[in-house]
Amino acid sequence: MYKLVIANRNYSSWSLRAWLYLVESKLEFEEIRIPLFTNAWQEEIARYSPGGRVPVLLDDGITVWDSLAIMEYVREQSPNAVDWPETAAVRAHARSVSAEMHSGFLALRDELPQNLRVRHEMDVGQLSAACRQQIARIDGIWAGCRRQYGEAGRWLFGDFSIADVMFAPVALRFVTYSIHVSGLAREFVEAVCALASVQQWIEAAQTESESLSFIDELVPAKDSPLTPG
């Protein structure tokens, strides 16, 4: 059985992606949870991954780290796992926006960190220009996908795909910080929030006792010690 190493549900968006992928793929796995940035964090995570970050997937002597590598590995192993869209052109589109998410939106990730337990009326004017531009870009990606593929289903590319997993935590950040998106983009936020697995993750996040003050108090990113992502 797979083992998945994750961090705090409340704060760790990359953990959420790998977990959501396995759950929506209906695969069984055991969870190993290591809270971020405790005294034991570095020593604990080093036991599982040379990269020192979560998520990490352990499969019978094989270690896979990094969310996208985990999803690619699992989809190769399991024919029924959540996949990319079927058509080459749509798949290329889904891969492009997913790669854009995986490697980008750094200002947004810094300034609007995942914090599922709270609601914060963010004054968008206080965000950096880069962050505001990234919010607009994400709105454009989601709205564009819904416009193009909305008739095929409720997700970005019709059926639920790896692209939805990549963007799901961003939808939740927009809820946490009351970030407004356009009507079509809103459909994606609503679809993510309605997912039973996402609700299950959020409920579990609410029972966690750890608190990362630099996120809870919204300390500017340059002053925060490490990046929960």
Ligand X SMILES: N[C@@H](CCC(=O)N[C@@H](CS)C(=O)NCC(=O)O)C(=O)O
Longest distance between any two alpha carbons in the chain, whole Å: 50
- Are 5 and 65 within 8 A, CB to CB? no
Q: Could you say which of 9, 53, 146, 173 contacts ligand X (CB under 6 A)?
A: 53
Give least dist CB 167 to ligand X, A. 13
Residues numbered 59 to 78 that lie near ligand X (CB under 6 A) are 66-68
Q: How far is CA 205 from the centre of its chain?
A: 14
Residue with smaller CB distance to ligand X, 85 or 113? 113
Q: Is 93 in the site for ligand X (CB under 6 A)?
A: no
Residues 7, 165, 168, 215: which binds ligand X (CB under 6 A)? Answer: 7
Shortest distance, CB of residue 130 to ligand X, whole angstroms?
19
Q: Which range binds ligand X by CB under 6 A, 13-21, 23-31, 93-101, 136-144?
A: 13-21
Chain residues 101-160 in contact with ligand X, contact rule CB under 6 A:
102
**Distance of closest approach, residue 150 Cβ to ligand X, in angstroms:** 28
Sign of the torsion angle spanned by Cα atoms 100, 104, 107, 110: positive
| Exposure string over 79-103, b if 16+ CB within 10 A, otherwise e | eebbbbbeeeebbebbbebbeebee
85 binding ligand X? (CB under 6 A): no
**If DSSP codes are grouped into helix, strand and coil, which group holds residue 224?**
coil
55 binds ligand X (CB under 6 A): yes
DSSP 30-76: EEEE--TTSTTHHHHHHTT-TT--S-EEEETTEEEESHHHHHHHHHH
Residue 22 sits in the site that holds ligand X (CB under 6 A): no
Stretch that binds ligand X, among 11-19, 142-150, 198-206, 217-225 (CB under 6 A): 11-19
Report residue 65: phi and psi, to 5°. -120, 155
Q: Which helix (H) or strand (E) holds 89?
A: helix 88-103
Residue ranges in contact with ligand X by CB under 6 A:
7, 12-15, 52-55, 66-68, 102, 226-229
